[in-house]
Amino acid sequence: MAFTLPKLPYAYDALEPHIDAKTMEIHHTKHHQGYVNGLNKAVRELRRIAEGDGDASLTKHWARELAFHGGGHINHTLFWYTMAPEAGRTQREPTGELGPALRETFGSLENFRRVFLAAADAVEGSGWAWLMFDPVSGGLLVTQMEKQQDLYVTGAVPLMGVDVWEHAYYLKYQNRRSDYTKAYWNVVNWAAVDAMYIAARGAASRM
Ligand code: MN3
């Protein structure tokens, strides 16, 4: 069994003008595909080592590859799933169960937006900003991720994240990352993020 590139739930130009079609196409077919390929290779090599057929001294190398490409695959899958064309969105802002939870943690939705975008704009180098559910405290966190997995909070469940690698915005926004992250806010699929939140809380309550 191999991991495969998931289809986007919308066309490449569906998030225009906020995220341009060319960036979406390259991001999906080249970058995300690259993580899928790297993940499959790491799994293959670790399996060979497990079967006594590979070089066990390279376990550390392939484990790092697994974490990086596996993170890349999962992060991008979530990224696509939690965006939607403006016209197709069923919610203009977080409602459902997520809205009240965000208000409780951040005081207001406006403050959540401020905190989330500040985290995204301040990522050092390539990475992500995330809203995560922490099953230990039952609360919400805004965190950063460097590369595809560094700084990840063990056990936390990602609900929505914005990719701030340059490949995610450079064609349209060049160095203006904060213009891109503000634009990202217009294409968040709040119904999908709410569904992620409800699922994460449900899973935690069964632990
Ligand atoms: Mn990316």
Residue 153 Cα to ligand 1 middle (Å): 20
Q: Cβ(74)–Cβ(115) under 8 Å?
A: no
Quick one: pLDDT at residue 93?
86
Average pLDDT (72-90) is: 90
Quick one: pLDDT at residue 91?
76
**Structure tokens given for 49:** 């080592």
Residue 177 Cα to ligand 1 middle (Å): 14
Residue 27 Cα to ligand 1 middle (Å): 6
Residue 149 Cα to ligand 1 middle (Å): 12
Neighbours of 55 (CB within 10 A): 11
Neighbour-count burial for 135-150, b at 16+ CB within 10 Å, e otherwise:
beeeebbbbbbebbbe
Q: pLDDT category, 206, cuts 50, 70, 90?
A: confident
Query: Each residue of 5-36: pLDDT tens digit?
Result: 999 999 999 999 999 999 999 999 999 999 99
Q: How far apart are CA 154 and CA 197, in angstroms?
A: 17
**Structure tokens given for 149:** 């997995």
Average pLDDT (59-76) is: 98
Residue 91 Cα to ligand 1 middle (Å): 25
Q: SS3 for 196?
A: helix
Q: Where are the alpha helices (DSSP H) in the chain?
A: 21-26, 33-50, 59-81, 98-106, 109-121, 170-173, 177-184, 190-205
Q: pLDDT category, 205, cuts 50, 70, 90?
A: confident
Residue 191 Cα to ligand 1 middle (Å): 22
Q: pLDDT category, 56, cuts 50, 70, 90?
A: very high
pLDDT higher than threshold 80 for residue 77:
yes
Residue 137 Cα to ligand 1 middle (Å): 29
Query: Each residue of 134-175: pLDDT tens digit?
Result: 999 999 999 999 999 999 999 999 999 999 999 999 999 999
Average pLDDT of every residue of the chain: 96
Residue 39 Cα to ligand 1 middle (Å): 15
Residue 79 Cα to ligand 1 middle (Å): 9
Sorted by sequence, the CB contacts under 8 Å of residue 152 that are 6+ apart come out as 71, 143, 145
